[in-house]
Structure formats: C-alpha cells, structure tokens
Structure 1
Amino acid sequence: MSALFPANPASSAIPAATSASRRRTIVATTIGNGLEFFDFTVYGFLALVIGKLFFPTFDSYGQLLLTVASFGVGFIMRPLGGIVIGAYADRAGRKKAMTLTIFLMALGCALIAFTPTYAAIGVAAPIVIVLARLIQGFSAGGEVGASTTLLVEHATPANRGYMASWQFASQGLGVMLGAVVVGGLSFSLTPQAMQSWGWRVPFVLGMLIAPVGMYIRRHLEESLHISPEAAAAPRESSLKIVCTQHGRTVLAAILSLVGGTTAAYVVTFYMPTYAVRELGLTPSVALFGAALTGLISFALAPFVGRLSDVVGRKPLILWSRIALAVLIYPGFLWLNASPTPAVLFIVLGALSIGLVAQTVPGITMLPEMFPKAVRASGMSLVYSVGVALFGGFAPFISTWLLNATGSKLAPAWYLVAMTVVSLLGLVWLRDHTGRDIDAAGAHAAAA
C-alpha cells in the first residue's frame, strides 16, 4: 500500500508503529464497512424479485414502487441510529459502536433471509421485511459516523482525506460484491429458481458479517481515550451540544450533502432497475453496471482522497458537482437513444467518477467540522439525516417521477436539480484541509 501511496512529506516523521496502526485501521474498517454495505444494499439489487414475492397483490409498477419504498424505509431509522449510536461512540468509544452496528446489520439480514413470502403468511411477510429494513437502517446510521470518525482520528492533518476515503471505498466494495453475487445468481439460475430460493442466498451470506466483522474489528486501536473519572461524570447530551453549538454547520452540511447522496443512490441502486424496466436490458447486464460503479468507487476513492489533501475539499467538491450536473442529462439522453450494454457502462462509469470526486472530500469534511467530544454524533447526525431525506428515497422519487411524467429522462432532471441545490450548502461550510481539527478554537466559526 505504501508503494501505491507514498508518504506525505508532512507526515514522514510518523513512527513506524503509528503507520502500521493506520494500515490496520484502514484494512479493518474497509472490510467491516464493506460487509455492512453489502448487507444493506443487496436489497436494492433484488427489488424486482422481492416486489413479486412480497407485494403480489399490486401490478408491476405498484410492486416496484412498494419495494423501493421499503428500501427507503431503512433510511427513516438512520437519523435515530446516527443519534443513538453516535452518542454511544462519543461516550464508550468508536470500536464498541462499530461492533454494535455489525450485529444489528446481521440481525436484519437474518430476518430477510428466513421470512416466508406473502403466499405463505400473507401481510405479515412485508411487515417483517419492513422491520428488518428498519433495523438495518438504524445500524447503518451509526456505522458511517463511527467508522469515518475513527479513520479521521487516526490521520494526520496532511492525510485525513486519504484516510477518510477508505470509508467511501469500502461502500464501493460492498456495492461491488452485492452486485456480483446477485448478478451471478441471476445469470446462473432460472427465473423460477431465483424466485424460489436464489434471492435468499445474498442475505444468508450477509449474516456472516457478525463473526467476520467481530474478528476483524477486535484488533482495531481505539481513537477516543476517556478516563474512568470522565466516563462516570454527568455529561450534557451530545445531540444537544451539536444542535445548539454547531446548528448552522449541521444545516449547511445537510444541504451540501443533497447532491452527493442523491447521485449515489440514483446511479448505484436505481440504475440497475431503470436499465431492466425502461431500457430492456437483462438483469445480469444491469448488475454488471452496478458492479462497475462499485469497482470505480473502491479503486478511485484513495486517489481522490490524496488529491483533496493537496487541493482542498471545497474546490474538488465544487468542480466535480458542476461537471456531474453537466454530464447527467446528455448521459441519460444517449442511454435512451442507444440502450446497449456498452453505452450503459460508459455512462455509469462517467457518472461514477464524478460521484467519487465529490463524495470523498465531502465525507472527509463532515467529521472535520466537529470537536472530538461530539465528532461521531455530529458526523452521524448530518450524514444520516441527509441520506434519509434525499438518498434513500431517491429510487422511489425517480420511479414516481418517471411514471407521473411519462418521460424516461425525469430521473436525470431530478438528479441535476439536487446537484445544483447542494452547491448552496457548500458556500457556508468551512474547509479544514491541512488544519489541526483538535486545536483550540478550530470549530469556532462555520465559514
């Protein structure tokens, strides 16, 4: 890894043990978070199959709408998970919070894997599925905040972008693995076998997250050190501190998050369904496209993180969002004019590059905005609320807009609008690139 990413001059004096600790943190966080996102996102890739099995009383459009809505339901619990688990991470430590999220995600996977379909138990089936998605959403709301905070706190001011980039890289890894598994099953099984039992396989595999994740994260080095006296002392609510002392930053950060999170969930999770239903491509081709977006995120994120450490977070976010806004509509136009696998892969590849270029510096900025005592809480609150409001329901809104307008280009206009709106929040955010975020007064101003 050091050969791919040579040491930054500003951090060349770091002791070898500390550098080794950072490498272990990257590996453990990437694998654990990748497994979590595999569990959480594979549901989106199986939307068409799950819709037929759990919402059979509706027509095909109703089935899809309800399935992507239940995908979005998982995001309703993200803010609560972010608040509860973020506060736990700020009081008990990042490692304990990340261990908790692993078991919650595995529990949600188990519920989905073994729930009988609507044909067997009636309306109880979709109810259990929604419950499972709520548990997974609660888990994911705390996972991103705790893991990103841990990565940032193991970094130096000169390489925080690179360290935090592995959080988004791990999301790409989870997406890629999920798409490959579902795509392989779709390609190798008959439609009957896929609907009978094949769709359950990814969720059974996802249950492995508990023992694997526990083993990996047991060796992480905690970045929050609290004395027994401080731990026992009464403490003001983390949520109260974040909202009262950093309220302007929270609002600006959520607004800034709109573009990236909408783009992520439209490009990565809605496009496979769009490619099958609207473009007539096969499920295996559509899922290969999703795997491509995951691969680009995983491979490109560390390089973008390094770049953000050099040029700054805000300039990179600004220009990548402008580029993405310009590319979205022509990409959808070309895709509808020539709906071939090659065009799909080219469009998804271009949009994915723009997505990585804005998301990596964006996810690095979030924990940099808050002091260490409430960093996980602040990061979790901003990320989970932003994703819940604008990311999780992006597939639902895209599906509804497409049906309401009758235009296959409707998702493109929605994505362009959200990208432009997100630039407003960016104006009010302070760029902490290269600064000591734990220095006194580092978070006194927001712009």
Structure 2
Amino acid sequence: MSPSTLAVSKTRQVVAAVVGNALEWYDFIVYGFLAGFIARQFFPAEDEYTSLLMALATFGVGFFMRPVGGVLLGVYADRKGRKAAMLVIIQLMTLAIAMIVFAPNYAAIGLGAPLLIVVARMLQGFATGGEYASSTAFLVESAPAHKKGLYGSWQLVGQCLAVFCGAAMAAAVTHFFAPQTLELWGWRLPFVFGLLIGPLGLWIRKYMEEPQAFVEARRQVRGNGPGLWQVVSTYRRAILVSMGLCCGGTVSFYVVLVSMPTFAHSNLGLPLDQVLLVQMFAVALMTLVIPFAGALSDRLGRRPVLMGFTLVFFIMVYPLYVWVAAAPSIERLLLMQILLCSAIGGYFGPGPTALAEQFPIEVRSTGVSVAYNVTVMLFGGFAPLIVTWLSKAMATPVAPSFYVLLTSLVSLLGIYYMHDAVRDSKALSMPLGGEL
C-alpha cells in the first residue's frame, strides 16, 4: 500500500469513528439539554422542581444499563471485532431515539408515557456503554505508533461535536419557537434530527476496516480469549487506575457541559437561549484544544499533560463558580466556560489513549468498558441530579463545584499511579544509565 493510500485509509478510519461517535452521543446528550420540557410532558408533578428531578433521574437511569452494555459489547468487540460491535451499537441507539421521538406524552397515555422514556433511556445507556471502549480501541489501534495520543483524542472530539450540535439544536428551537409550541411538539425536533442522521452513521461504519493491530493480536488468542471475570481479576489494578482517570473527567463533562444550561437557567436566572450560545462557543473552543493536547501527550507523555490540565482545572473551578454566582451574567458565564472547557479539553486530549494503554489489545475493549462505565454510572450519570439537589439543599449556586472538586482529586490519584506508555517506551529505548 502506497503512503498516500495508507494516509487516506487512516483518515477514513478516523472519520468513521468520529462521525458515528458524534451521532451516538448527540442523541444521548440532547436529552440533558431539554430535560425541562421533557419533565413537564412526561413527568408532571405538583411543582416544577420535583418534575425536573424526576426527568433528571430518568437521565441517570440510562447509566444503570451502561456497565451491562459496556461489558457485553466490550467482550463482543474483543471477540468479534471493533467494527461488528460499533455497527450493533448505532442500530440500538437509532431504535432508542425513535422511541423518544414518537412517544405519546403523559396526558395521552398516562403512566405508559414515562415508562416508554425510561425504556428508551435504558436502551440508549446499553448502546452508549459499549461505544466509548469500542471506538477508543478502534482509533488507538488504527494509529501510527507516534500518533496514538492524537488519534485517541478524536474520540472526545466526536463527543464535543455531539454537545455542540445538541446545544445548537436546543438553542434554535428555544429561540425560534414560542413556549407553547415547544411544550406541544417543538422539543421533539432535535431528536428527529438525530433519528434522521442515524442511517448515515450506519452507512459510514459499514465501510470501516478492522485495525491491523487488533487482527494480529486476535490471531494469537486461543479460543474466545479471557472471560469477563478473568479480565477483572487479572487486570484489577489497571481497572482501578482507569476508574480514577475517568472520574474527574466524567463528572466535569456532565456538570460543566451537559447540565450547565439547565443549571444556569434555573439557578442563576439567565436566558436559556443565550446560555446555550455560550455553551456552543465554549465547546467549540474545547474541541480545538483536545487534539492539540492529544498530540502534545505523544511528545511529553500522557501523565504530564493529564496532571497539568487537571491541576489547572482544580484550582480554577471554585473561584469561578463563586465569581459568577455573585453577579450572574452571560459575560461572566462565558468567561467561566471558556476557562473551564479549555482545561477540560486539555485533559480530554490524552485521556482516551491513556485509558486504552492500561490494557493489552486482546482485552482492551472489555477492560476499558468495565472501568469507564462503572465510573460513569457511579459518578457521572446522576451528576445533574446530584448538583441540582446540592444547590437546593445547601442553598448556594456554587454547590456543583464541590462535587467537581472531589472527583478531580480522585483523578489526580489515578494519574499518579497510571502506566504512561510514552515515557516508559522512551525509558526503555535509552542507553543504560540514561535519564528522562
């Protein structure tokens, strides 16, 4: 294969993973942006606060299925291939979004309405549970040896594209439609968009190629390879370290990115359409930082880049929340989101590759799925619910920062104990007595 053909092939691999991943996460995330409208349509209660909590709880319900989907689809990806798993995942997600698009509201069918939403969210959780590990393994294994950080970073670029598109669609419908129209049917339009582009993601992934590194590793495995419990027992240290790596980033993603529009509108009284525009700008900037940080980790190592950006984020988050809460305004919110999202982007860049490198190829999808999805279920899935409750219980709008600070500390521990493939390989390649 000529160098130009090889470059085109690798570009096609990245595009297939990123576009499909963005479609997956768009459907999952847009629910968080429109939680307020969904609450009133499917979870009516005596007061709006209780109704919103019920909708956010349903957002978290999907995360109970993520470890199940992550494990089953992770094992499937390790045995049958990354491509096979990623095709199944996008089909399941398309079915789930169709259920939300066509679900009658509570006024039409009573308790059947919230039950349909719960089932759809669980199906979304099952599918998304397998997405992160399968697409991360696919990208890292498709990468040249000296660009694994850059290639892995495109996993989070796909997620940021999903957040950006979700915010754009939510901003559009809240700006152009009257509140009455939004309540009746306008809130469904962003989900319709996700449903329409589902077949595109399926078509793109149909023409992916299995990474050669995975094909070669699979040839050396006897039978079906290690089972789930063997992976958990053999690689328990790698799983615990990976959970630490995931913890802060996961909570930051759902608190600073997904639930911030609802939080800023409900707790700070800022206009929702303007808040969504702020979110779009901050996420666009973060999307630019991610591949830069991933490429930087290929030169400096995963640990220094992860540690540096996590410390910067840890130092900034509480003062910024206090500053914005003291005098809420769109301008202050914009500056806060620019700073926080830039730091998160620096962490997200090398994050996926660092996780993948904690496990050998033959068990990579299973190991990453277990660590990532258990962490997301325990700390991320109910983050919007937790910060909403904390703000009410503590009577302070800075309460979300406490949860983010705690989980960032856990990530700092994970970063300290992680295996840094870049720095370890440099140490091995140096002459005896050499220094890093």
Q: Which bin holds the TM-score, normalised by the shorter protein?
A: over 0.9
Instruction: Say which of 366, 391, 396 aligns to 2:380.
Output: 391
Q: CA 1:434/1:107 → structure 2, altered by over 3 Å: closer, same or farther?
A: farther
Aligned pairs (5 A) from 1:19-58: 19-58=7-46
- Provide the rounded CA distance (Å) in 2 between the counterparts of 1:69 and 1:226: 43
Aligned twin of 1:10: none
SS at match of 1:208: helix
Letter in 2 for 1:33: N
Letter in 2 for 1:314: R
Aligned twin of 1:175: 163
Q: TM-score, normalised by structure 2?
A: 0.93
1:15 aligns with 2:8: no
Letter in 1 for 2:108: A
- Provide the rounded CA distance (Å) in 2 between the counterparts of 1:293 and 1:98: 29
Q: CA 1:429/1:176 → structure 2, altered by over 3 Å: closer, same or farther?
A: same
Aligned twin of 1:4: none
1:89 aligns with 2:58: no
Aligned twin of 2:125: 137
- Provide the rounded CA distance (Å) in 2 between the counterparts of 1:436 and 1:325: 29
Letter in 1 for 2:135: S
Instruction: Say which of 385, 397, 402 aligns to 1:408.
Output: 397
**Does the aligned pair in 1 maintain the 2:20–2:204 contact within 8 Å?**
yes
Q: TM-score, normalised by structure 1?
A: 0.91
The structural deviation recorded for 1:379 is: 1.4
1:124 aligns with 2:112: yes
Q: CA 1:338/1:54 → structure 2, altered by over 3 Å: closer, same or farther?
A: same
The structural deviation recorded for 1:151 is: 0.4
1:235 aligns with 2:229: no
Q: CA 1:313/1:388 → structure 2, altered by over 3 Å: closer, same or farther?
A: same
SS at match of 2:215: coil
Aligned twin of 1:346: 335
SS at match of 2:146: coil
- Provide the rounded CA distance (Å) in 2 between the counterparts of 1:372 and 1:422: 24
**Does the aligned pair in 2 maintain the 1:158–1:434 contact within 8 Å?**
no
Aligned twin of 2:345: 356
Q: CA 1:245/1:77 → structure 2, altered by over 3 Å: closer, same or farther?
A: same
- Provide the rounded CA distance (Å) in 2 between the counterparts of 1:145 and 1:155: 16
More displaced 10-residue stretch of structure 1: 59-68 or 222-231: 222-231
- Provide the rounded CA distance (Å) in 1 between the counterparts of 2:160 and 2:132: 13
Aligned twin of 2:179: 191
- Provide the rounded CA distance (Å) in 1 between the counterparts of 2:22 and 2:208: 16
Letter in 2 for 1:386: T
Task: For residues 116-164 of structure 1, give each alpha carbon's deviation from its aligned partner in whole angstroms, at most 9, with x where no partner exists.
Answer: 1111111111111011000001111101111110100011221100000
- Provide the rounded CA distance (Å) in 1 between the counterparts of 2:316 and 2:217: 52
**Does the aligned pair in 2 maintain the 1:157–1:433 contact within 8 Å?**
no
Aligned twin of 2:431: none
| Alignment: residue pair count | 425
SS at match of 1:356: helix
- Provide the rounded CA distance (Å) in 2 between the counterparts of 1:248 and 1:14: 41
Aligned twin of 1:427: 416
Aligned twin of 2:355: 366
Letter in 2 for 1:164: G
SS at match of 2:349: helix
SS at match of 2:256: helix
Instruction: Say which of 233, 236, 259 aligns to 1:270.
Output: 259
1:225 aligns with 2:215: yes
- Provide the rounded CA distance (Å) in 2 between the counterparts of 1:378 and 1:64: 35
Aligned pairs (5 A) from 1:224-303: 224-225=214-215, 234-303=223-292
Aligned twin of 2:319: 330
SS at match of 2:351: helix
Aligned twin of 2:89: 101
SS at match of 1:158: helix
The structural deviation recorded for 1:226 is: 7.0
Letter in 2 for 1:111: M
- Provide the rounded CA distance (Å) in 2 between the counterparts of 1:216 and 1:435: 36
- Which has a greater percent of helix? 2
The structural deviation recorded for 1:405 is: 1.0
Q: CA 1:14/1:358 → structure 2, altered by over 3 Å: closer, same or farther?
A: farther
- Provide the rounded CA distance (Å) in 2 between the counterparts of 1:339 and 1:407: 13
Task: For residues 196-242 of structure 1, give each alpha carbon's deviation from its aligned partner in whole angstroms, at most 9, with x where no partner exists.
Answer: 111111111111243101211122111132799989x6434442232
Aligned twin of 2:53: 65
1:310 aligns with 2:310: no
Q: CA 1:230/1:361 → structure 2, altered by over 3 Å: closer, same or farther?
A: closer
**Does the aligned pair in 2 maintain the 1:75–1:392 contact within 8 Å?**
yes
Letter in 2 for 1:76: F
**Does the aligned pair in 2 maintain the 1:238–1:374 contact within 8 Å?**
no
- Provide the rounded CA distance (Å) in 2 between the counterparts of 1:228 and 1:170: 27
Task: For residues 393-418 of structure 1, give each alpha carbon's deviation from its aligned partner in whole angstroms, at most 9, with x where no partner exists.
Answer: 11111011111111111111221121
**Does the aligned pair in 2 maintain the 1:276–1:286 contact within 8 Å?**
yes
- Provide the rounded CA distance (Å) in 2 between the counterparts of 1:29 and 1:199: 28
Q: CA 1:152/1:367 → structure 2, altered by over 3 Å: closer, same or farther?
A: same
**Does the aligned pair in 1 maintain the 2:26–2:162 contact within 8 Å?**
yes
Gapped runs of 5+ residues in structure 2?
A: 429-436
SS at match of 2:61: helix
- What is the Cα-based RMSD across aligned positions, in Å? 2.1
**Does the aligned pair in 2 maintain the 1:55–1:118 contact within 8 Å?**
yes
More displaced 10-residue stretch of structure 1: 158-167 or 412-421: 412-421
Q: CA 1:75/1:309 → structure 2, altered by over 3 Å: closer, same or farther?
A: same
**Does the aligned pair in 2 maintain the 1:32–1:213 contact within 8 Å?**
yes
**Does the aligned pair in 2 maintain the 1:309–1:434 contact within 8 Å?**
no
- Provide the rounded CA distance (Å) in 2 between the counterparts of 1:435 and 1:211: 42
Q: CA 1:352/1:229 → structure 2, altered by over 3 Å: closer, same or farther?
A: closer
